[in-house]
Amino acid sequence: MAITRGATEALDLLLRALFEPGRDAVAVTWPSFGSFEQFAALHGVTRHRLPLGGVRYDRLDVDRLLSLPVKGIYLCNPNNPTSTCLDADDLALLLDRFDGIVIVDETYAEFTGRPSLAHRLGSHPGLVSVRSMSKALGMAGLRLGAVLGAPDLIGAVRRVRPPFPVPGPVAEAAAAELADPAQLVSRVASCVAERDRLARELADCPGVRDVFADAGFVTVRLADQDAVLAELDASRIAVHAEPEGWRGFLRISVGTPQENALLLSAIRRSDRRSHL
C-alpha cells in the first residue's frame, strides 16, 4: 500500500508510474470521474472512451474493452457521477480476461455495503484499488488517500511519489479518527440512511425520472432540468448540474435532514410551476 495526498493524487501517480507517455493507452468509461482523463492527457497517455450501458449506467461492454489496444482500464465503482455500482458479473469477467492494469477508483466503496475489490488483489496482479479518507470517513480536509495493489505496482508508485507525502499532524489526526472504528461505522450508517431517505423522497417527485443512490451522493434525471435549476437557484441551493457534461442530470450531495427538506421543497415547487 502507498499513502497519497488524497485519492486524486493517487490517480495522477498511477499514470506517471505505470504508463509511458506517447506510447501507452488507457480505456475509460463514460460518464465517469473526469480528473483521470485530464491526468492522462497531461501525461501523454491516449484515452479510449466507452459509454456505460444499461438503464442504470452500470454495465461494461467487456468484449469492446478487451478489443482495445490499451495497457490499462480505469473504472470508478461506485461510479461518479452516476452513483451506481458497476455490474458485479461484468467486473468479474473483465478481471478474469484482461491481463493488463485495471485501476478501480473505490473512493465511495463504504457507502455500498459491498466488499471492496481489494480482496481480489492476490488473484489479479494487475488490479489496483484506490481508496480515500475524504468521503465516507469524513476527513476531506486531511487529504489522505491510498493505493492498494501488487508489490511491484506499489513500488513503482512510491518511486514517483514526492518525498514526505504525509505531514506529521495529518498522520496524527487520521490515526486519532481511525482509533474508534465503531464511531466511523456509525457515521457511515447514518449518512447512508439519510441518503436512502432522500432518494425515496426524490423518487416520489413528479418531475424526477430516475434516481441513483449507490455512492455518497444522489444523482437524478429530470423531466425539466432548467425549471428545477431556476427554482434551486432562487432558493440558494447549490447542486452539480450536468456532471461531466451529462445533460439532464443533477448530482446532489446528501445534506442534513433540514437541508434535504429544503431541496425537496424546491424541486416540488418547480414541478408545480412548470404546469401552471
Cis ω for the linkage preceding 78 (within 30 of 0): yes
Strand order from edge to edge, sheet including 2-4: 2-4, 145-148, 127-132, 101-105, 72-76, 25-30, 46-51
Say what the pLDDT of residue 140 is: 84
Say what the pLDDT of residue 137 is: 83
Say what the pLDDT of residue 274 is: 58
Say what the pLDDT of residue 142 is: 85
> Cα separation of 225 and 222, whole Å?
5
pTM above 0.85?
Answer: yes
Could you give all domains of the chain from N- to C-terminal order, each with its CATH number?
Answer: 2-178 (3.40.640.10), 182-274 (3.90.1150.10)
Q: Using the 8-state DSSP alphabet, how is residue 115 labeled?
A: P
Give helix 151-160 / helix 6-18 axis angle, nearest 10°. 100
The residues of the chain scoring below 50 in pLDDT are none
Tally the residues of the chain. 276
